[in-house]
A and B are shown apart, each in its own frame.
Chain A
Amino acid sequence: MVTAPARTQPGGSRLLTDQFSIQLRDLYKYFGETPAVNGVSLDVRDGEFLTLLGPSGCGKTTTLRMIGGFEHPTSGAIYISGQEMGDRPPYRRPVNTVFQNYALFPHMTVGQNVAYGLEMAGVPRAERQQRVTQALEMVRLPHVENRKPSELSGGQQQRVALARALVNRPSVLLLDEPLGALDLKLRKAMQLELKQLNREVGATFVYVTHDQEEALTMSDRIAVMNEGQILQLGSPEEIYERPRTRFVADFIGQTNFLDVTVRAVSGDTAEAELPGVGRLRVRRPAEGPASGPAALAIRPEKIALLEDLPGGAPANWNQFTGRLDEIVYVGTFTHYLAVLPQGQTVTVHRQNRAVGEAEHRVGDELTLVFDPAVAALLVD
C-alpha cells in the first residue's frame, strides 16, 4: 500500500498555506464502480514544474482534469493558492489548460483564440491587443495573428495553445500531454522551450505525460502514478536512481530484475543470494524487504565489464560471471545480454568509447562488476 508523500499539513481547513500553489487532499474519483483516482494527496510548490507520469489509465489525466475543474472528485479536496476549489467550475479557477490536441477554436483566428481569455476577463481592447502580441512573441510566433489555426503546422498550433493559456497569466498552467502529437525532433525542441517558459513566467506547471524521457528532461519533480495512486514523488534523479518500487524502476528507464533471497540486513545495506552466483552486497531502501525472496533492481548502464576498468574494480564491488548470449549495437552503447549460471539474464549497456575496443563474441565468458550502492532490493 503506497500513500502520498507524508507532509504534515493541517488538512481539513478551508484555507491551507499558500506556499504551495496546488494541494490535493485524499482525492478519489470513481467512474461508476471503477476508481480512476484512488487516494491522491500531493503538494505542488509555487513555480515548480511537476510532472504526473504513468501509463495510460493510471489516473494522471483525471487528476489533472479535477484540478482544472472538468471533473469533480468523488471525495477529497483541491486547494489552489490555499483556496478550496470545491464545486467551482473551470471558468472560476485561476488555472489555464493546454489540451492534448490543442483545442484551438477552428472558427477564430489565432489572434482571436489568444485574446479569448482576456476578453472573457473584461480586459480593455488596447491592453488585450498588446498582451496578445506579447504572448505570441513569447512563444516565438509573431505575424500569425490573422491566420486560422488550420493554416498552421502542428508545432505552431501547439505554441498558439500555449500562448492562449499563458496570456491570462495563470498562477497554474495545466498541460495534458501537449507534445503527444508532435514528431520526435519538434518534441525535443518544445521540451526545452516549455522548461524555459516555466522559469520565465514563474507559473506553476503541472504536466501530464506517459513519456518517461519527457518527464526526466523537464520536471523539477515527478509523481509516478499507477492504478490511481502516486507511487513515488521526487526529483528526476531520485526517481531514476532510487526507485522505491518495482513498478517505478520498471516504468522509468530500463532495469534488470534478478530474483534473489535476502540473507542478512544491516542498516541500509544487505546481503542477497543470487542463485548460482553467490552472495552480493546491495542497498536496501527503507521500505525494502528484510528477508526472504526479493527483486534486485539494477540499471544496465551501472554494470561494467571488469576489463573496462583500468585499475580494476574497488574492493567492495560485486563481481560475477555470465555467458554472452546476444549483442545489440545501438550507437552510443552496445547492449550485451548475458546469461547467469542459473539461467537468469542480465542486460549490460557498454559505452562505445573508442573504435576497436576488445571485441566479444556470443558465447564468451564475461566478468561483470557493480557498485553495491547502485543495486536496490525491492519488494517483488
Chain B
Amino acid sequence: MAAPAVTLPTSGAPGRTARPAAALLAAPLAWMTFFYLIPLGLLLLHAFWSVDYLTVNRTFTLDNVRTVISNPLYPTVLGRTLMIAIAVTITDIILAFPIAFYIAKRATKHRELLLMLVVFPLWSSYLVRAFAWKTILGTNGILNSFLLWTGVVDQPVSAFLYTKTAMYITFSQVWLPFMILPLYTIIDRMPDSLLEASSDLGSNWFQTFRRVVLPLSLPGILAGSLSVFSLTMGDYITPSLIGGSPGTELIGGIIADQFGIANNWPLGAALILPVLAIISIFLLIANRAGALGRGEPG
C-alpha cells in the first residue's frame, strides 16, 4: 500500500509553530541584541580605532594590534595569565573530583546538606573571600604565625603574599564551586551499575576512574573548566588585592587600566582580542562536547 500524499505537518504536536516562539522571544532577543551583541561588536571595533588625546578617532588602524604583538610586555602578561588560568583550572579539576564523587555516590543521608555547603561560598562575597587570603598569607598572617610557632622558620616569610602563588591559591579556592557543581551533576547521572560493572570486571579503582569515570565526566569537566578558566582570564580584582609585586600583573588588570586611568580604550579593546580568541576556542570545544547549557550557575 503506497503512502498517501502528505498533507499535514509531519512532526510535532498540533500548533507547534515558530510564530508564537517569535512572540515570546521578541523581548529577550531585543534586549540581548541591544545591550550585549551591539556593545560587543562596538568593543571589537574599538580595537581598530585609535585615541587622540581624550577622544576616540574612528579611522581604521592596525596600530593597537601591532602594539599588542610587538610590545614584549603584553605577550608576557598574556602568557602569565594563561599559565595561571590553566594551573587554576587543573587544580580545581583535581580538587573537585573527590568531593563531587563523594557527594554523588557516597553521601546518601547528607547529600543535600553537602551540596548546600558547596554552593554556599558562592553566596558570600567573592571580594571578602579573596581578601581573607591576605589575612592568611600576610606577613603577620595565620600561615606565618603557624610556621614561626612550629619553628620551621624563625622570621616571617613575606614571599607568600603579593605573588603569583598567592593569586593561584586564591583563584583556586574562589572558583572551586564552579567546578564541583557541573562535575557533581554529571557523576550523579552515572549509573552505579556502571561503576560496579567495571570493578566486577577486575579493574581497581584507578582503572575504573581512568577508563570509566573520567571519560564520562568530560562534559562536566569542560563546563566547569570553561567557567573557571574564563573567570580567571578576565579577573582584575584578586590581583589588586593579593598580587602586586612586580611581575605579577595579569591581563585583566592591564585591560581594566586602559578603560580606567590610562584611558586608552582602543588599546584595551585590542588587548581583549587574544583573550576572546583563547576563550572562543575553548567555547567551541566545550560546545562540541555538549558541555554548554547544563545549568552551570554563574
- Residues of chain A touching chain B, judged by Cβ–Cβ distance below 8 Å, are 1, 3, 26, 28, 30-32, 35, 38-39, 69-76, 87, 89
In the complex, the answer to whether B3 meets A30 with C-beta atoms within 8 Å is yes
* Interchain residue pairs A-B with the least CB separation, the first 9: A75-B4, A30-B10, A72-B8, A39-B1, A74-B6, A28-B4, A72-B14, A75-B7, A74-B8
In the complex, number of A-B residue pairs with CB atoms less than 8 Å apart: 39
- Given A3-B1, A71-B13, 8 other A-B contacts at CB below 8 A? A1-B1, A26-B4, A72-B8, A72-B9, A74-B8, A75-B4, A89-B14, A89-B15
Q: Give the most central of A26, A28, A32: most B CB within 10 Å.
A: A28
Q: Which of B4, B13, B15 contacts A74 (CB 8 A)?
A: B4
Residues of A near B5 (CB, < 8 A) are 75
B125 at the interface (CB under 8 A from A): no
A32 to B12, CA, bound (A): 10
Interface residues of B in 1-53 (CB under 8 A from A): 1, 3-11, 13-15
For residue A72, which residues in chain B have a CB less than 8 angstroms away from its CB? Answer: 8-9, 14
Q: Say whether chain A's binding surface is mostly helix, strand, loop, or mixed.
A: loop
- A89 and B4 CA atoms in complex are apart in Å by 23
Enumerate 12 A-B pairs (CB-CB under 8 Å) in ascending A order: A28-B3, A30-B3, A31-B11, A32-B10, A32-B11, A38-B3, A69-B14, A71-B13, A74-B4, A74-B7, A76-B4, A87-B14
Complex interface: chain A residues within 8 A of B15 (CB): 89
Question: Taking CB as reference atom, which chain A residue is nearest B6?
Answer: A74
Cα distance A39–B4 in the bound complex, in angstroms: 9
A72 CA to B9 CA, complexed, in Å: 8
- Cα distance A87–B8 in the bound complex, in angstroms: 10
- Residue pair A70, B13 in contact (C-beta under 8 Å): yes
The residue of chain A having its C-beta at the shortest distance from the C-beta of B10 within the complex is: A30
Chain B: residues with CB nearer than 8 A to chain A? 1, 3-11, 13-15
Closest residue on chain B to residue A70 by CB atoms: B13
Contact partners of A89 in chain B: CB under 8 A: 14-15
A39: which B residues are within 8 A, CB to CB?
A: 1
Residue numbers in B under 8 Å from A74 (CB-CB): 4, 6-8, 10
Task: Compute how far the CA of A337 lies from the CA of B1 in the bound complex, rounded to whole angstroms.
Answer: 40
- Tell me, rounded to whole Å, the shortest Cβ–Cβ distance linking A91 to chain B: 11
What is the minimal beta-carbon distance from A92 to any residue of chain B, in angstroms? 11
CB-based contact A30/B6 at 8 Å = yes
Contact A75 B14 (CB under 8 A): no
Residues in chain A near residue B7, CB distance under 8 A: 74-75
Contact A31 B14 (CB under 8 A): no
In the complex, what residues of B have CB within 8 A of residue A75's CB? 4-8
Most chain A beta-carbon neighbours within 10 Å: one of B6, B9, B14: B14
Q: Which B residues are in CB contact (< 8 Å) with A30?
A: 3, 6, 10
> In the complex, what residues of A have CB within 8 A of residue B3's CB?
28, 30, 35, 38
A28 / chain B contacts, CB cutoff of 8 Å: 3-4
> How long is the Cα–Cα vector from A69 to B15 in the complex, in angstroms?
12
| Residue among B7, B8, B11 with the highest chain A CB neighbour number at 10 A | B8
The chain B residue with its CB closest to the CB of A75 is: B4
Residues of A with C-beta under 8 A to B11: 31-32
A212 to chain B, nearest CB (A): 26
CB distance from A181 to the nearest CB of B (A): 21
- A30–B5 CA distance with the chains assembled, in angstroms: 11
- The CA-CA distance from A70 to B7 in the complex, in Å, is 17
Docked complex Cα distance between A3 and B14 (Å): 28
A71 to B10, CA, bound (A): 10
Assembled-state Cα–Cα distance A129/B10 (Å): 42
A261 to chain B, nearest CB (A): 30
Assess whether A38 is in contact with B1, with CB atoms less than 8 Å apart. Answer: yes
When distances are taken between beta carbons in the complex, the residues of chain B under 8 Å from A73 are: 8
